[in-house]
Structure 1
Amino acid sequence: MIFQESLGISIGDHQVSLVYVKGTLRGMTCAARGSLNLDPGASLNEKLHAAGLAVVEFLRENNVGNPSIYVGIPPSSAMFKAIEFPSAVRHNLGTTLTYELEKHIPISMEEIYFDHQIIGEAENSRISVLLAVVKRNDLQHYLDFCHRIAMGVNGIEMSSTAVANALIYHLKGKTAGDLGEDFLKLLRGAAPSDTSQSEPVSALMKTFDLPSEDLVAAFGLALKGMQKVSVDINLMPMEYRRRPSRTGHYAMMALAVLVLLSVSAWGASYWMHHKMVSGSLNAELKRLASEMAEITKIHGRIDAVEGQVAALNRLNAAYIPVSDILRELTQILPDTVWVREFSLGGGKIRLDGYADSAPDLISLLEASPIFKDVFFTSAIVKEKDGKERFNISMELESS
């Protein structure tokens, strides 16, 4: 965090707030903050023009270097939804959402930008996913605003997610799920003082000298440029994002080189003093290394034999008749599932077929006493007749 710097810009309906934070040897500090009231009767483009001028003036007045920059937009500009999925799709969640999104959001994929975040574990081996969606036309106004910032912008999110991140940062060790109902209230734009988290937010404001609650969102945005945050949502398309600043990284490298040179100078004198002793020790080490090499070879042969014995034992224990496997699949798979291809080899089973709801198959197969490590080997493809084609891999429980 040392030598890092970050700027958070929170754009609301009536105000733009800015917080500039820097990393020091003592930790993170708020180096500057500011705000500008916006004309409620002005158009969005007029408000963003005024906000752009405020940003330029803020950068000039506070001699801001080359910070990471994150922009927050009003929560009313986006839609939030919490969705549950089988935990098996965790590693293929982006692809799964692409096919499932239109079931949950009444807008076509071509009209939106979206991002997601796993926010907790649900019951029955399922995960809870926070989905954030914004219309492309609505976000374009803010993208145009970002283009006018010469340094470039690293990301765009809702100011409400930034407030949640600021609060979670102050609570230390807490997660979004630990906030309970307050988390969803904050996401929908509720002021922290209107939730049960008003005292922690007041303490955060006192710690970082934030005179107004409106600055908490800007602080949460700046926080994202300093460390990993709990709710990592970024609605800015990848091609528009500025790469993170490497200034702090290079400064740390330079400092490390200086320290290394100092240590090396001290070490050189120490080495010269003990050169004679080191020579005799090296000779003894070479002799011991030769003996150790022989011992290592013997251990290697022993390990190889033990591995062969263990493999034979596993093969003997892993045998399950194919008829039992097919009987188990027939009993647990719904009648609407059509298995087109079944293969078994090396203790692994592959299924290729069609189902009304492919994601539900993972939990059904995981519940079987003879199957384990069930996962999709490719993205689910929705056919013209509404069926979902799937490719599933799993292992036998005793293998």
Structure 2
Amino acid sequence: MKRFRTMIGIDPSGGRLAIVAVRRGVGGSSLAVPPLWHEPRTAKESSRFEEIEGVLGEFVARNGLVGAGAALVLPAERVYLARAAFPPMKERDLRDAVGMELERLFPLPPAELRYGFRRLAGLSTGGKLPLVVAATPSEYIDRWEEIVTRAGLTLSAAVPSAWAVGDALSGPGGLPGEPGSTAAVLRAAGAAVECTLFASGEPFFCASAPCSPGSASGEGLPLARGGFADPPSSAGDGPVDLFAPQGWYGKEGDRIEDGGVVFRVRDAFDRSSASVLSGSGEGGSTPDPFALLGAFGAALGEGRMDLLSPQRDGSDSRISRAFLGAAAVAALAFGIAWPSAVAWKAKAELRGLDAQVAALRPAAEQYEETLSDLDDAQGRIATLREAASPSGETLQILRELTDRIPDGTWLLAVRMEGRKVDIEGLSPSASEIFPALTRDGRFRSVEFGAPITRQADNIERFKIRGEFVPPPPPAPAASAAGKKR
């Protein structure tokens, strides 16, 4: 095993290229060579990839990094994020359960996705396990794997931007990880501003929005406020720690209130492990060390979220490794202390237990499927009971929404409180939904609950709220009026 290893973090967020080479060893991590920041000269995607490949290959050859590992940062605009909740189940079954929900969570076929998930702290309503699920098109990772290979590197990880940024800011003075803490990280990503939100140290929201030069700070806070419109249960009620480039929002300790959310400005480069990036870069400096956060965090290799070879659930990976190590030591001591005959007998008994476990596994799986079916049936019963209420407006509201939602739109969530309706989803053109809802006067007070954010493949994510207006009761028939005479 090599005592020292160099890992190269590559971040193509916003169309520009950030490269950070980190030397990892027993004493910690440090920069192997000055980082590289490159703005492509062309906006056309195919030409931009060719230019980026050339810059990456030159960086690797000039610094003697051929054969090193590479960790790719998956930009926010290429990653789908969704939150879901599942009943408590065994870890090995949880990934299968998430896989079966991919078609409902994301607008691409599951076969075309690479995905991973992480548990959020606490439990959701009903005692279920809250998860944040991340997915990206397989084609995007495959394309980058070819680029990295031609540059003389080996693609070792593909880390969504949210987790890469979180790893870069982890450590003393960085992101707070205690229960109930919340944080927002804003950074410029090419011609866009990127926002990542954390609850109890775990990302739960990451999105980017286009912006003109110099307006990133003005676009960042509305993006963060929209992400906090529906926070997870692990988010507390205190102020949100705000990490942003110096000069965006004042000095450390300043408080900013925006839309009911209180942000507290933090200085990420005084005490955190990412301080090595301050003032670094080829040529002696970089325009914004925050632009290197993603590449730096991916190169650190914490592995909390890797879509190239995702773990079943990284929340307990360190504990599992410690447990397996202790079990291996105990097994070795047992084998040395006992005679061979006893060892053979123990193996025979273990084989018998394995056979019993294998015989009982179908019954256990059937039981878990029955529990899942029961939960689904109870949910349907609750929906039907609500629909059968005397007002009967629930189905009418759903019918009106269905008639007005344009083709190609995906609804990720529908929440109703009386006649007030909140919808969230993905659409090729979210702006067309607003006039569709307001026609005929069936919905009033219609407004966007959060800024429209553009996802991959020109898909827009939207949140819209409004209030349903029931139609007037039908006028009495003319025949009835005649009988009264």
Q: What corresponds to 1:145 in structure 2? A: 147
Q: What corresponds to 2:373 in structure 1? A: 358
Residue 204 (1) aligns with residue 204 (2):
no
The amino acid of 1:174's aligned partner reads G
User: What SS is found at the alignment partner of 2:71?
Assistant: strand
The amino acid of 1:222's aligned partner reads A
Contact 1:2 1:27 in 2 (8 A): no
Structure whose residues are more often helix by fraction: 1
Report how far residue 349 of structure 1 moved: 8.3
Q: Separation in 2 of the partners of 1:63 and 1:20?
A: 11
Q: Separation in 2 of the partners of 1:355 and 1:349?
A: 10
The amino acid of 1:153's aligned partner reads L
Contact 2:243 2:265 in 1 (8 A): yes
Report how far residue 106 of structure 1 moved: 3.1
Q: Separation in 2 of the partners of 1:107 and 1:160?
A: 21
Contact 1:14 1:40 in 2 (8 A): no
Q: Separation in 1 of the partners of 2:371 and 2:87?
A: 15
- Cα 1:12–1:125, aligned 2, differ >3 Å: closer, same or farther? same
- Cα 1:76–1:349, aligned 2, differ >3 Å: closer, same or farther? closer
Q: Separation in 2 of the partners of 1:82 and 1:149?
A: 36
Q: Separation in 2 of the partners of 1:143 and 1:65?
A: 15
User: What SS is found at the alignment partner of 2:278?
Assistant: coil
Q: Separation in 1 of the partners of 2:91 and 2:6?
A: 33
Q: What corresponds to 2:479 in structure 1? A: none
Report how far residue 350 of structure 1 moved: 8.6
Q: Separation in 2 of the partners of 1:146 and 1:177?
A: 39
Q: Separation in 2 of the partners of 1:128 and 1:110?
A: 24
Q: What corresponds to 2:134 in structure 1? A: 132
Residue 33 (1) aligns with residue 110 (2):
no
The amino acid of 1:199's aligned partner reads D
Contact 1:192 1:201 in 2 (8 A): no
What is the number of residues matched between the two proteins?
252
Per-residue displacement from partner, 1:346-375 (whole Å, max 9, x unpaired)? xx98965975943838x9xxxxxxxxxxxx
Q: What is the correspondence of 1:1-399 to structure 2 with a 5 Å cutoff? A: 2-24=3-25, 26-39=27-40, 41-64=42-65, 66-123=67-124, 124-170=126-172, 171=174, 174=177, 178-179=181-182, 182-183=197-198, 184=203, 187-189=206-208, 192-193=243-244, 196=264, 198-201=266-269, 203-204=271-272, 207-211=275-279, 212-224=289-301, 228-229=302-303, 231-235=304-308, 352=367, 357-358=372-373, 360=375
Report how far residue 148 of structure 1 moved: 2.1
Q: Separation in 1 of the partners of 2:48 and 2:271?
A: 31
Report how far residue 199 of structure 1 moved: 1.5
- Cα 1:125–1:45, aligned 2, differ >3 Å: closer, same or farther? same
CA RMSD of superposed structures (Å): 3.9
Q: Separation in 2 of the partners of 1:148 and 1:116?
A: 30
Q: Separation in 2 of the partners of 1:9 and 1:98?
A: 28
Contact 1:69 1:152 in 2 (8 A): yes
- Residue range with higher mean Cα deviation, 36-45 or 66-75: 36-45
Q: Separation in 2 of the partners of 1:178 and 1:79?
A: 24
Q: Separation in 2 of the partners of 1:105 and 1:125?
A: 24
Report how far residue 153 of structure 1 moved: 0.6
Contact 1:82 1:128 in 2 (8 A): yes
Contact 2:81 2:205 in 1 (8 A): no
Q: Separation in 2 of the partners of 1:200 and 1:71?
A: 23
User: What SS is found at the alignment partner of 1:103?
Assistant: helix
- Cα 1:198–1:355, aligned 2, differ >3 Å: closer, same or farther? same
- Cα 1:97–1:26, aligned 2, differ >3 Å: closer, same or farther? closer
Q: What corresponds to 1:381 in structure 2? A: none
- Cα 1:237–1:209, aligned 2, differ >3 Å: closer, same or farther? closer
- Cα 1:350–1:10, aligned 2, differ >3 Å: closer, same or farther? closer
User: What SS is found at the alignment partner of 2:80?
Assistant: strand
Question: Runs of 5+ in structure 1 lacking a partner?
Answer: 239-292, 294-344, 364-399
- Cα 1:66–1:111, aligned 2, differ >3 Å: closer, same or farther? closer
Q: Which has the larger radius of gyration?
A: 1
- Cα 1:158–1:44, aligned 2, differ >3 Å: closer, same or farther? farther
Contact 1:115 1:235 in 2 (8 A): no
Report how far residue 95 of structure 1 moved: 0.9
The amino acid of 2:276's aligned partner reads F
Question: Runs of 5+ in structure 2 lacking a partner?
Answer: 185-196, 209-219, 221-241, 249-262, 280-288, 312-337, 339-359, 379-485
Contact 1:18 1:33 in 2 (8 A): no
Contact 2:24 2:300 in 1 (8 A): no
Structure scoring higher RCO (CA < 8 A, sep ≥ 6) equals: 1
Contact 1:81 1:131 in 2 (8 A): yes
The amino acid of 2:38's aligned partner reads N
User: What SS is found at the alignment partner of 1:134?
Assistant: strand
Contact 1:9 1:19 in 2 (8 A): yes
User: What SS is found at the alignment partner of 2:290?
Assistant: coil
- Cα 1:153–1:359, aligned 2, differ >3 Å: closer, same or farther? farther
Q: Separation in 2 of the partners of 1:7 and 1:150?
A: 12
Q: Separation in 1 of the partners of 2:131 and 2:168?
A: 20
